[in-house]
């Protein structure tokens, strides 16, 4: 007869897995992927290294799960920010502003998500990450087009270009040594990116007055 875990055992394993992922998120924010070895995460989580392999087959599998967890949080933050605005212009601005501001407030974490060399499986997740933000932005661009607020354009293509440009523009500040501390994001970067986005879309922003 196959062994079946009791609810108590399963609950304990689920709690341990959650502790591992929380520990990994903390290490990623402090040290990047290079600091997220199985042994380091186990130590931070307070478990034996061998116990890690009951949850993840290797570091690559852990890294993918870790990446997805952090990205899910970031995407949710963008959706929440967009929902607080009513006009197409403000909703589009909210996507870029939230993405960039959160990255600059947690530079080590954002650097790991966007550009740090990592396993090929993480690179594949990065493509999904960018496409997710592209789709969020494209939906808002399409709504602005439907409302007659923007000149004709391909929402997906424009959104992809803006996401790529935003990520590239953030690369320098995120890689600064030492990086800016939490809450110390350069004041000019986020407004400049929002202004760039609105101009790229063909809409005037306040600086055009």
Is the pLDDT at 206 greater than 90? The verdict is: no
Region 163-167: mean pLDDT is: 94
Determine the pLDDT at residue 204: 55
- Closest to 37 (Cα-Cα) out of 66, 15, 13, 14: 66
* Cis preceding-peptide flag for 178 (omega within 30 of 0): yes
The alpha carbons of the chain give a radius of gyration, in whole angstroms, of 20
Lowest mean pLDDT among 6-15, 48-57, 95-104: 6-15
What separation in angstroms does the CA of 170 have from each of 1, 43, 99, 129, 133?
56, 32, 10, 16, 15
Is the pTM value of this prediction over 0.75? yes
- Kindly report, residue by residue over 36-45, the tens digit of the pLDDT: 999 999 999 9
Is the pLDDT at 185 greater than 70? The verdict is: no
With cut-offs at 50, 70 and 90, classify the pLDDT of residue 184.
very low
Determine the pLDDT at residue 87: 93
- Kindly report, residue by residue over 51-66, the tens digit of the pLDDT: 999 999 999 999 999 9
């Amino acid at each position: 007869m196959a062994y079946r875990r009791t609810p108590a055992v399963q609950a304990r394993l689920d709690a341990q897995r959650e502790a591992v992922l929380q520990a990994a998120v903390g290490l990623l924010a402090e040290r990047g992927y290079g600091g997220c070895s199985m042994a380091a995460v186990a130590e931070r989580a307070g478990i034996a290294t061998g116990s890690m392999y009951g949850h993840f087959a290797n570091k690559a599998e852990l890294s993918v799960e870790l990446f997805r967890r952090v990205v899910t949080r970031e995407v949710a933050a963008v959706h929440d920010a967009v929902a607080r605005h009513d006009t197409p212009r403000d909703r589009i601005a909210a996507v870029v502003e939230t993405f960039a501001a959160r990255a600059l407030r947690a530079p080590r974490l954002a650097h790991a998500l966007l550009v740090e060399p990592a396993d090929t499986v993480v690179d594949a997740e990065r493509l999904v990450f960018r496409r997710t933000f592209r789709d969020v932005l494209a939906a808002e661009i399409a709504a602005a087009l439907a409302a007659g607020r923007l000149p004709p354009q391909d929402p997906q293509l424009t959104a992809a270009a803006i996401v790529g440009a935003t990520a590239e523009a953030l690369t320098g500040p995120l890689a600064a040594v030492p990086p800016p501390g939490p809450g110390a994001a350069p004041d000019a970067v986020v407004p400049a990116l929002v202004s760039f986005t609105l101009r790229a879309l063909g809409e005037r922003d306040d600086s055009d007055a």
